[in-house]
Copies of this chain bind each other. A is one copy, B any other.
Amino acid sequence: MVGAPLAGGSSTPELTAAVSDAGGLGFIAAGYKTVDEVRREIEDVRARTRRPFGVNVFFPTQLAADEAAVADYTVRLAREAERYGVACGEASWSDDGWEGKLELVTRERPAVMSFTFGCPARSIVAGLQASGIAVWCTVTGPADARIAAAAGVDALVVQGSEAGGHQGSFDDTDAAPVGLLALLQLVRAATDLPLVAAGGIATGEGVAGVITAGASAAQIGSCLMLTPEAGTSAPHRAAFAGGAPTALTRAFSGRRARGIVNRFMRDHDAAAPRAYPQVHYLTAPLRAAARAAADADGINLWAGQAYSLAEALPAAELVARWGAEARAALQH
């Protein structure tokens, strides 16, 4: 069982350590953090557990963003800024501290380093492996899988359309995202690499299902977000009880991500440009203000399609239960 890296607040050193201590593989979500913050998180996790863990980093991509569309979206969000009493952020590009995080992780040598939004060059992959770090890459289709396999990664995180948060695709197109079970079969036809299945896994039967379908492990995200160890905000936790559907949207970050449908998504989804991470930085102060005001209608409520099965129990208890249920289902 892998504890998904939940960038944006849900992943904490407590959660990472709890998953690893329970026999899973916890992940530190390095995305959106400074190198120093990630270093401190690694130290914090190491102080809490001696078990292996992983670090997830965003691969920097520079997708062609329509600057005029970003400018239009900025104007559109003026009334949101007014509503929340803050200024919008600056719609700039950033590599999210790529070089620094790569150096940090190479030095710190966690068991696994995983990448989202793309795959580094073969030389970088080999360098990490030479430091004793297993390299995983998130893929959402067979084309991504072939690129990552050619780069020499050790395993693929196969992310189905069900997954909460950002689709980790190398490109950011409007193509229909593929469901996890179909995706596992398509990726398996493209590569023999070990696969970690991600997206909509919420029960031990779900874990067992992906293992039987050919995955080596199941990654769980949304169903860890209500644990006491998670940093999920109170309004985000409350929204998990609401039962609203989820949808993919570029409204919050400029890149497709799945969250619970709320006012902000309804109002701005159709107008949101394909511009990541520009829109992420643009909306960041709005989302922070909405979070502070406990206004779930202004927050990016990331959640996978099975989020309603999440329970507010300690991570260790959930990991142990999913393991026992999965073993029972596999012996059926």
Contact = CB atoms under 8 A, between A and B. Distances in A.
A74 to B, nearest CB: 26
B205 A214 contact: yes
A185 interface: yes
A189 B200 CA distance: 14
A309 B246 CA distance: 29
Contact of A181 (B160, B175, B176, B188): B160
18 contacts: A162-B178, A162-B179, A175-B245, A176-B248, A176-B258, A179-B199, A180-B182, A184-B205, A184-B209, A185-B205, A205-B214, A209-B210, A209-B212, A209-B213, A209-B214, A212-B212, A212-B330, A214-B329
Contacts of A329: 212-214
A245 to B, nearest CB: 5
Nearest to A201: B181
Interface string A194-232: 000001111101101111111000000000000000000
A161 interface: yes
Chain A interface bracket (under 10, 10 to 19, 20 to 34, 35 or more)? 35 or more
Contact of A176 (B183, B189, B212, B245): B245
Interface string A304-315: 111011000000
Given A180-B180, A181-B199, A212-B329, 12 more contacts: A176-B245, A176-B246, A181-B201, A182-B200, A184-B205, A185-B202, A185-B205, A186-B305, A205-B213, A208-B212, A209-B210, A209-B214
A247 interface: yes
A332 interface: yes
A162 B183 CA distance: 9
A206 B181 contact: yes
Nearest to A178: B305
A213 B202 contact: no
A16 to B, nearest CB: 24
A304 B182 contact: yes
A160 B306 CA distance: 13
A306 B182 contact: yes
B309 A185 contact: yes
Contacts of A201: 181-182, 185
A304 B186 CA distance: 12
Contacts of A246: 176
A276 to B, nearest CB: 20
Given A212-B212, A212-B329, A214-B329, A206 B185 contact: yes
A184 B210 CA distance: 12
The 6 lowest CB-CB distance pairs between A and B, nearest first, are A209-B213, A182-B200, A179-B179, A162-B179, A212-B212, A182-B306
Contacts of A306: 182, 185-186
A236 B258 CA distance: 33
A303 B205 CA distance: 27
Contact of A179 (B185, B189, B200): B200
B188 A205 contact: yes
Contacts of A180: 179-182
Interface in A97-143: none
A183 B208 CA distance: 15
A199 B176 contact: no
